[in-house]
Amino acid sequence: MTPRTEFAPGLSIQGITPPLRLRDFKLIAFDMDSTLINIECVDEIADAAGRKAEVAAITEAAMRGEIADYKESLRRRVALLAGVSVEHLEHVYRQRLKLHPGAAELVLACKGAGLKVLLVSGGFTFFTDRLRERLALDFARSNQLEIVDGRLTGRLLDQHWGDICDGAEKRRTLLQACDLIGCTPAQAIAMGDGANDLEMMAAAGLSVAYRAKPKVRQQAHIAIDMGGLDRLLEVVQP
């Protein structure tokens, strides 16, 4: 890619020549934790088990790309959640989870330009299902926590597509969505913040890093370091 240049304060680009047109794309894929929303859900769930610091340290290392096996890192974190109640998950969703600024506005702009919207996450269906309904998203894929008698068991359930939504699965999901709607990966936008987003970002025609880890920021076409998600519309015009 060409060297990164500052497009506007807190907004930089590389390898693209703006302005781009939103209507030239057909799909936008969002990561959830720390991209579409303000928290890492697994860390907030761990708070109820008194293990937040321990879990958050693993999450940070995984997002920075310092842990090679994302699946194993997630299994380790989920095991530490055993015994947490569904009521605490509800509390996390109602009281701690917030959309990042500009999230709803960007989704509406994309839908208005005819794009389909995918939420693909290494997080959990408990949250992605609610966000899919709340924002009227077209597709969502994430991991399913096992719940027995109203409490987490510390395990994940296999789903029809596989076991864990890691970086490779995010890429595969983006490509499947492209096939489903009849577009090429070059017509897709992928937005994320962590190392497990890099594979889908590399597969998409346009990659966007939002308040991202250094490794992700370095590789993205667009890096948004200040302001809301809808700053993408400064580069990719509706």
Query: Active-site residues: which are they?
Result: 31, 33
Q: Whose CA is closest to 55, among 38, 34, 75, 31?
A: 75
Q: Can you tell me the distance from the alpha carbon of 58 to that of 77, in angstroms, rounded to the nearest whole number?
A: 7
Inter-residue contact 212 to 192 (CB < 8 Å) = yes
Residue 206, C-beta contacts closer than 8 angstroms, at least 6 positions apart = 16, 20, 25, 188, 189, 190, 221, 222, 236
Half-sphere exposure of 143 (CA within 13 A, CB side): 27
Element at 110 (helix H, strand E): helix 103-112
Nearest to 110 by CA among 130, 133, 136: 136
Residues pairing with 191 in the sheet: 30, 208
Q: How many CB atoms lie within 10 A of CB 44?
A: 22
Cα separations in angstroms, 167 against 49, 62, 92, 172, 225: 27, 11, 25, 9, 22
